[in-house]
Amino acid sequence: MTLIGMLHHRADPLKVRRAYAYSVVAKAEGVNFFYFTPGQVDIKNQTINGKIYENGNWIEKKFPFPDVIYNASYPLTEKGEIIVDYLSEIIPFTSHSVGDKLHVFKQIKKGKSFEQYLIPTNELTKVNRLMKMVHLYPKVIIKPLSGHQGQGIVFIEKEGTEKYRVNEAGKISIYKKQELIEFASHKIQEQEYLVQRFISCQIKSGQVYDLRLHVQKNGEGKWVITAIYPRVGTLGSITSNMGSGGYTCYLDILLKNEFEDSWFDIKKTLEHFSISFATHFDSLYEDVSFDELGIDVGIDENQKLWLFEVNWRPGAPMIFNCELDVARNTVLYAKHLATNSKRNISD
Please count the other Cβ atoms lying within 10 Å of the Cβ belonging to residue 68: 25
Amino acid identity of 85? D
Q: Is the pLDDT of residue 234 over 70?
A: yes
Contact criterion met (CB below 8 Å) for 34 and 65 = no
Residue 327: which of 12, 52, 88, 16 has the closest Cα? 16
So what's the pLDDT on residue 344?
55
> Given 3.10.20.30, 3.40.800.20, 2.60.98.20, 3.40.50.20, which CATH number is that of 3-95?
3.40.50.20
Domain map (residue ranges) of the chain: 3-95, 101-117+202-312, 121-197
DSSP 130-178: HHHHHHH-SEEEEEETT--TTTT-EEEEE-SSSEEEEEETTEEEEEEHH
**Domain 101-117+202-312 class, CATH top level:** alpha beta
Of 118-127, 291-300, 310-319, the least confident = 310-319
pTM of the model as a whole: 0.91
Report residue 110's pLDDT band, with 50, 70 and 90 as the boundaries: very high
So what's the pLDDT on residue 1?
87
Report residue 343's pLDDT band, with 50, 70 and 90 as the boundaries: low
Torsion sign, CA atoms 22, 28, 33, 35 = positive
Report residue 243's pLDDT band, with 50, 70 and 90 as the boundaries: low
Report residue 233's pLDDT band, with 50, 70 and 90 as the boundaries: confident
Q: Is the pLDDT of residue 164 over 80?
A: yes
Report residue 347's pLDDT band, with 50, 70 and 90 as the boundaries: very low
Chain-wide mean pLDDT for the chain?
91
Residue 49: strand pairing partners: 62
Q: Is the pLDDT of residue 242 over 90?
A: no
Residue 39: which of 76, 91, 90 has the closest Cα? 76
Q: What is the mean pLDDT of residues 304-313?
A: 94
Contact criterion met (CB below 8 Å) for 69 and 5 = yes
Q: Is the pLDDT of residue 168 over 90?
A: no
